[in-house]
A and B are shown apart, each in its own frame.
Chain A
């Protein structure tokens, strides 16, 4: 009997018979980190479905229920599992909604930095010459300034430019732009490095010989091949962006308390720390730390797995 089935491995087999997958299966740290990250993201994005209360619905909030401790502490009530904040909002629900905002802002900021950095990096590596020198010089100079300071300064300028009445509504976009403008040099450097390697390969030369325009070669041929290292930077960058957003919000320069992110929640709770209401600060802070720590671990593992030279 002849076997007529496709001799090529199936999609699933190809996926599982892969260096990266193998490395993933064999590093428990990475698996735990991925699971925790995924859980955080899923829980936060499903907030409208799974959160016991809607913290933005005034009908569900009563000031009488304010400052209640977690359910297992004396005086806690079972329906408020992690207690309530100063306005009587359920902590668990507020954290889920806040975490969603934190993750969204982080993702948007990283995307902005990635688009900006990778485009500049690929152009810099492909065109070379004075363009390359100028772009990389700017990146070098910017890298000497700590990112968080730059984000605070850009964010401060952005807030100052906006008229007072628009500040709260546009705060989120100012934060995203400030963090995005801060982290582009990392992406530019990595993308430029990858471009320099790819630009000398035969397929790029072939594309050049058949007369494709430079922008098309950069977009269709070189750009897809820079993605591996860029992905690593993006993962570590996400952790840093979430921290940056939380820091700005904690300083009172970020997301306003009407639509709180994790950083805003910690800021609000910090005012009640002295009266011993620890849970208003503690749970958002714990969520932030767990989220950032697991994303960081995932990024570290990815760097090792995708870059065999470092192993």
Chain B
């Protein structure tokens, strides 16, 4: 067990080293950092002074070690465009992304499991078939087309919901939330549905397949023979046993939600980290790009590590076999 976790940890560190090396080389390959710091009219002496001050005359390895040292402390320097510390910018944008991901995950879970249980139990009704067919379309439509369609329907034609932005936010000191205002809730509905649709379909199909499997087992038949109520059989006996694979899939899919949040945030102009990255690419704002790369890599490494360990804890077969 310890060896397994150590191996995974070593692999994660290796991934982080590669990603940070890519981020670091971005600084050197893309433009001249000095040009990005000073104005057009800076003298040669001023430029040389800044070069020296930034340590750009040091050997490349020294620079890399310094970059790593700063990165570990979350310091990626000043944004070229906005001229503010990058870690501050990310921390400002992070609540928006996390709230969007959180609300989408809740929608995907509640609706996905609910519909999955329904289609698993009443498998031959018209409604079940309709839900399954619609879910197939949901999987094959690109995210941004779903987003545009929702905007056209609910924001442009019906004018029920806003099409962009986060609405009113409340500052809690360390976290600005839009979940405490009515306006904020109205704004989050469309992006959250867009982001959750794909995951919702996955969970629906998974729960349905697992339910079909479990409903055939002996202990369900026995529960029926004992005369238990249908609801208790479905939700206490059957659903509980479908949850192990569902939990692992959800764990892995939090990464998917973060990936697609880049697209959803751009469609709905949601002021999160994904939109910030896309804008940073447009303006070649290297510090933000580097920070976002490292941030996303760290997130995925952590998620995978946790899911790997969870597998280990949940499934004894892996524990004994590994």
Q: Interface readout for A22-48 with B: 1 if CB under 8 Å, 0 if not?
A: 000000000000000000000000000
Q: Which of B98-140 contact A (CB under 8 A)?
A: 140
B141 engages A289 (CB within 8 Å): yes
A251 engages B151 (CB within 8 Å): no
With A and B bound together, what is the CA distance between A38 and B262 in angstroms?
33
B286 engages A160 (CB within 8 Å): yes
A157 engages B26 (CB within 8 Å): yes
What's the least CB distance linking B257 to chain A, in Å? 9
Q: Given A144-B304, A251-B266, A252-B282: A156 and B260 within 8 A (CB)?
A: no
A148 engages B144 (CB within 8 Å): no
| Secondary structure call for the B interface | helix
| Secondary structure call for the A interface | helix
- CB contacts (< 8 Å) of B256 on chain A: these are 146
B259 engages A160 (CB within 8 Å): no
A276 engages B156 (CB within 8 Å): yes
Q: Given A160-B289, A296-B140: A153 and B296 within 8 A (CB)?
A: yes
- CB contacts (< 8 Å) of A156 on chain B: these are 277-278, 281, 289
Q: Does B239 contact A (CB under 8 A)?
A: no
With A and B bound together, what is the CA distance between A149 and B303 in angstroms?
15
What's the least CB distance linking B137 to chain A, in Å? 8
With A and B bound together, what is the CA distance between A146 and B144 in angstroms?
16
- CB contacts (< 8 Å) of A288 on chain B: these are 142, 145
With A and B bound together, what is the CA distance between A270 and B155 in angstroms?
13
We find that the number of chain A residues with CB closer than 8 angstroms to chain B is: 35
Closest to A149 in B: B259
- CB contacts (< 8 Å) of B263 on chain A: these are 148, 247, 250-251
Q: Does A170 contact B (CB under 8 A)?
A: no
B284 engages A160 (CB within 8 Å): yes
Q: Does B175 contact A (CB under 8 A)?
A: no
- CB contacts (< 8 Å) of B262 on chain A: these are 149, 152, 251
A278 engages B255 (CB within 8 Å): no
Q: Does A161 contact B (CB under 8 A)?
A: yes
Q: Does B311 contact A (CB under 8 A)?
A: no
The 7 sampled A-B contact pairs (Cβ below 8 Å) are A144-B255, A152-B278, A247-B263, A253-B278, A274-B163, A285-B145, A285-B148
Mark B residues whose CB is within 8 Å of A: 11, 15, 22, 26, 29-30, 140-145, 148, 151-152, 156, 163, 252, 255-256, 258-260, 262-263, 266, 277-278, 281-282, 284, 286, 289, 293, 296, 300, 304
User: Beyond A146-B256, A159-B281, A289-B140: 20 further Cβ-contacts under 8 Å?
Assistant: A144-B255, A146-B255, A148-B260, A149-B258, A149-B262, A152-B278, A153-B293, A156-B277, A160-B286, A160-B289, A247-B263, A250-B263, A252-B282, A253-B278, A253-B281, A270-B148, A273-B152, A276-B156, A285-B148, A288-B142
Mark A residues whose CB is within 8 Å of B: 137, 141, 144-146, 148-149, 152-153, 156-157, 159-161, 164, 243, 246-247, 250-253, 266, 270, 273-274, 276, 278, 281, 285, 288-289, 292-293, 296
